[in-house]
Amino acid sequence: MTQVKTAKFTIIKDHICKMIESGEWLQHSKVPSENVLAEQFSVSRMTARRALQELTEQGLLVRTQGAGTFVATFKSQSSLLEIRNIADEIQDRGHQHHAQQIELIAVDVNHELAILLGLKEGENVYYSEVLHFENNEPIQLEQRYVNPKLVPDYLQQNFADITPHEYLSSEAPLTEATNEVEAVLANHETCSHLLIDSTTPCLQVKRRTWSSKGVVSLAILTAPGDKYRLGSHLVF
């Protein structure tokens, strides 16, 4: 039985949490200042400050320079959903996962794609289709358009051998992404890949990834609604 020493600032955080949870400190009410907390708990101001700061980052408190620290309103908190890699998702369920490359070609972008990728019509992109399986049952179709200009050189040179995983890791860590989740009916081709009929509702995630130089890739993930769902568990 090892005794874990608790850091001082976490003691203060716990105290504040309890006061809010118990209803003693209501929404919008003022929280003791850094100096007051420091004296109350016999710590330095910087330690008390850290407790307030971390709770602010968690969205529990709101701070205004010069005015003070206040208990946040419920409304100021947003709900976040985590979109996980389907391979990890399947693995966590204890099932078998494998992926099959169906298509991997270079294509000219049409008008619609040009807009989505920020390219000119007729320019060249890499297009790939990868089908994911859970216990040998098709579960997600992944369609991906990649801007070849923004992919590292070593991937461009032997394009035919790029695995889906390399696509992902080719995206630099400093990127932005736009995600959109929709419920749709899949087109005929997608249906045949996923072994579903055209009335099955599907979850579709469209993700565009940007680097500082432009749109890197557009990924379209389609999965039958009864087999895949997005989930999250959050603590406010």
Binding residues for DNA, rule: CB under 7 A, are 5, 7-9, 31, 33-36, 42-47, 49, 52-53, 63-69
The one-letter amino acid code at 17 reads C
Segment interacting with a second copy, rule: CB under 8 A, options 3-11, 30-38, 97-105, 206-214: 206-214
Among 116, 193, 211, 220, binds a second copy (CB under 8 A): 211
In the complex, the smallest distance separating the C-beta of residue 199 from a second copy, rounded to whole angstroms, is 5
Q: Does 203 bind a second copy (CB under 8 A)?
A: yes
Q: Which does 75 bind (CB under 5 to 8 A by kind): DNA, a second copy, none?
A: a second copy
CA 56 – CA 100 distance, rounded (Å): 45
SS3 20: helix
In the complex, the smallest distance separating the C-beta of residue 44 from a second copy, rounded to whole angstroms, is 13
Tokens of 76: 């100021």
DSSP 116-165: HHT--TT-EEEEEEEEEEETTEEEEEEEEEE-GGGS-HHHHHTGGG--HH
Among 38, 43, 52, 60, binds a second copy (CB under 8 A): 60
CA 128 – CA 219 distance, rounded (Å): 9
Strand partners, 105: 127
Q: Which does 7 bind (CB under 5 to 8 A by kind): DNA, a second copy, none?
A: DNA
